[in-house]
Amino acid sequence: MSYKRIRAILTYLAETYGKNDSIYPKDPKIRAQIARLQFFDLDTLYARLFAYMIPVIHRGMKPDPKDLEKIHESLKWLNSYLEGHFFAVENRITVADFTLIATIGFMNSSGIDLSKYPNISSWIGRCRQQMKEIKMPIDFYYHPASSPCMSVRLLGETLGINFNLKRLNLEEKEHLSPEYIDINTQHSVPTIVDEDFALWESRAILTYLAETYGKNDSIYPKDPKIRAQIARLQFFDLDTLFARLYAYMSPVFNKGLKPDPKDLEKIHESLKWLNSYLQGHFFAVGNRITVADFTLIATIGFMNSSGIDLSKYPNISSWFGRCRQQMKGYDKITKETDEIVRNLLKGKLENFQIIKRYGTEHRERKEPEEHLERDSRSCRGIFLSIISDKYQF
């Protein structure tokens, strides 16, 4: 990329995406100062650095000492200019600082002595501190069919987290790429990368995001008793509610077999337990939405989309309605997930007529076994992504 274009990009990004005009102020006098420093960097500071380094990098020659003298001359000018300046323009960081730091940072890394320029050295320190506090978006690796991914996105929306969405094409095995396995050895979704910290498993991600980015502790309270209740519900979801759903649905997708009615009975048994627990609860833990609700909504939401009848569980139905209303962006975020689940499952489950929405009578397949086996192989991975954090085959 042309170094000239980088300056244009910095200006464009600051003006387009800045929450206010602090980084690229609208005041024409301040903008003129920023432009002057950008041109000084391009035409003098960077140009002299380029002239000094190019023989070394491209021709393997010794640099010309005269070119180094010119660099130091330009550094003296900058050092004098920065006298009395906290940042390049006035007392706040602007596009000018982001422009200059690239050139000065390279000089510092390449061994050019900056210690004789106290104003530049102090300015570098302030830029490092200030730019460190500028938070990069969290990379979020996901698939729209995955309900655990959906729950993480819902929490992110509620917390106002700016996710850098990275959709993985699981059908094309993008999750098995060396680059992704380097991030997540389990090659599962969802996965987040928060600067240098990678994390997978949706329940762990939910807890981390709530504790790290919650404006207060309402979504993940510090009270150890409340946290214990949240953990209990997360384990109940993982070990009972979700586990039974997985056991019921897995034969359809993995082997093209009829699901076992006994597994459906176990799902309803676990739903009865949850329904009883929710008696008198506005949300899963107390009267405010917590990480527990974002955990449970993934499994219950999938059940609802797949046709499992929740109407016989009034407490779950009421809780589900409150969550949909309280969770910011619920309809927008879940729409694609819900459509994929319904379309995929309708095609599969119509072969067995196993769930109320698609018929209640268990009967033999409508299509030859070999066709269903072939079809289930093609759907196996997407099924795993839909109802779990896993995609590991």
- At residue 193, the 3 state secondary structure works out as strand
Q: How far apart are CA 132 and CA 134, in angstroms?
A: 5
Q: How far apart are CA 186 and CA 180, in angstroms?
A: 9
Burial class (CB in 10 A: 0-12, 13-18, 19+), 374: exposed
Q: Which of 22, 110, 146, 147 is catalytic?
A: 146
Q: CB–CB of 374/158 below 8 Å?
A: no
Cβ neighbours, 10 Å, residue 144: 18
As a three-state string, the secondary structure of 174-188 is: HHHCHHHHHHCCCCC
- At residue 98, the 3 state secondary structure works out as helix
Query: In terms of DSSP H, where are the helices of the chain?
Result: 3-17, 28-40, 46-59, 65-81, 95-109, 118-132, 147-159, 178-183, 202-213, 224-236, 242-254, 261-277, 291-306, 314-326, 330-349, 369-387
Cβ neighbours, 10 Å, residue 326: 14
Say whether 146 is catalytic: yes
Active site residue ranges: 146
